[in-house]
A and B are shown apart, each in its own frame.
Chain A
Amino acid sequence: MINKVVSNADEAIKDIANGHTLMLGGFGLCGIPENCIAALVKKGVKDLTCISNNAGVDGFGIGLMLETRQVKKMISSYVGENAEFERQLLSGELEVELIPQGTLATRCLAAGYGIPAIFTPAGVGTEVADGKETRNFSGKDYLMEYAFDADFALVKAWKGDTAGNLIFRSTSRNFNPIMAMAGKVTIAEVEELVQAGELDPDHIHTPGVYVHRIFQGEAYEKRIEQRTVRKKD
């Protein structure tokens, strides 16, 4: 049986180097690879290009890597919740490419499915279309968007097994399964790591073939960005 297990986050990211392109799963702070981010901050690699739907918040998520100036470029759909991000952007220290969320997701999907490019109507007639090839299908215009090419994908799952199979929980699934498929090297951190055979093959969201390294995260803070509740009547 193929064994994908590494001992911890430091070992999992040991060959991530300056200038690499990383995908990081998560939506807001939900389902982010907390332990990998902490290890990257500790390692201090710089000039990273990060593909992630959002850029964390001050003091958490990718926000931690911004504070240490490790990120050269962010490729995201929405980056609104982070003052340090804004400061670096306005001062020119940080480059940002904003792309539609569905385009971001589908460019991951294309990479994982071995498809070089996709056609999407998102952004037709807007500045997103600048410099891009447009094709007309059945009377409607579509932009050609390329599959992502990322050196590493860092994803977070709920459960995983020693063979690298992953199961996600609730909306922390978001970008994680498609980024897992898209990385040249995919590192999965999980809340609970079990022996191969303990997960029902019918319940696997991401087959282990896409996962190169897996470890159980030491702890998960799972910070909530917008705590909204209702009162019991």
Chain B
Amino acid sequence: MIKKEMIAMLLAGGQGSRLGVLTQKVAKPAVAFGGKYRIIDFPLSNCINSGIDTVGVLTQYQPLRLNTHIGIGIPWDLDKNVGGVTVLPPYEKSANSEWYTGTANAIYQNMAYMETYNPDYVLILSGDHIYKMDYEVMLDYHKANKADVTIACMPVPIEEASRFGVMITDENGRINEFEEKPEHPRSNLASMGIYIFSWKALKESLNALKDQKNCDFGKHILPYCRDNGKRLFAYEFNGYWKDVGTLGSYWEANMELIDIIPEFNLYEEFWKIYTKGDVIRPQYISADASIDRSIIGEGSEIYGEVHNSVIGADVRIEKGTVIRDSIVMRHSRIGENTHVDKAIIAENVAIGKDVVIGVGEEAPNVAKPQVYAFGIATIGENTVVPSGVKIGRNTAISGVTTLADYPNGELPSGGVIAEKDGE
């Protein structure tokens, strides 16, 4: 009989709509991060580094990039004879065919997958956080407490606690109560969305709530467990953990990597982060280039200036161009004498010559002021930006744009050019 002590279920189906055009065509876990990686690399690497070799990745929204990235799991050593990584999309059933309607519903629909491995414990992860964590230590904690559910929590400043699900614990770490995004938080222990369930408790609560609409861990499963006398414990985690759910936090987390000694250090031998590296060759820095405070991915060719930026693999930055405080993802091309200030440029973008990105004063975005904020200009993947245009702050562009899309050759701050497809 196949037996795995703990398996992981990684929720990677969400759109992450707060990342705007970055997730227009890819699921959030597949968004590039840190000049080389994709967000899902962090939980996947944590799994294998923690000795978990069976991971189900639940996909739903725009899974193509995610599927090609994961493949059979070779980069993470998750190509196993028994176990390994399995991509789990929603599927048709003889009755009740449905999409994944909630986090717990998605897990419930894959009961058969989990049962194959006869796990004692199931680790529930989400694919949108940047952190290094040893899940085995968390499992030890879970076992020591004879817990039914252990929730990884992070102490946050109390004034920020109202953005999170907050756990109220007794002196032993047992959770008595929790509040979802409370106005007046009674604790500063924020849930990180990482749970270890004892298999029995998980199975029981999923079955009990199988008819619950949009069944969600935070909203339904955890309250059910609490109300039915299960032992819920908070596992306090004090390392680096970053939710990259908004353009602002995504930008910040990237920028933190370029500090001289970053808090989140990718250069340690210990606890490596693995990814599918399809570009191997070194990067070339020309005689005219000037670079400082930046990280640059493999195979990029830099002829211009790069300051304070994160540049992905196979990016070409031409002569006379200045990139500042920006993120440029793989395969993008930036023409000559272009100035880019505080922008996120997604994959495979072509930007012409003499373009200025990030000019003028900030103005709220006309379409989604909550999403396109922080003064960042966001350019979606496969976008083409013509030569000579000026683009303001809090802007969003996607699709093949031409001069006609820029009245007076300009997209003022807060403007949007979108929904034009690259075909």
- A and B bind: no
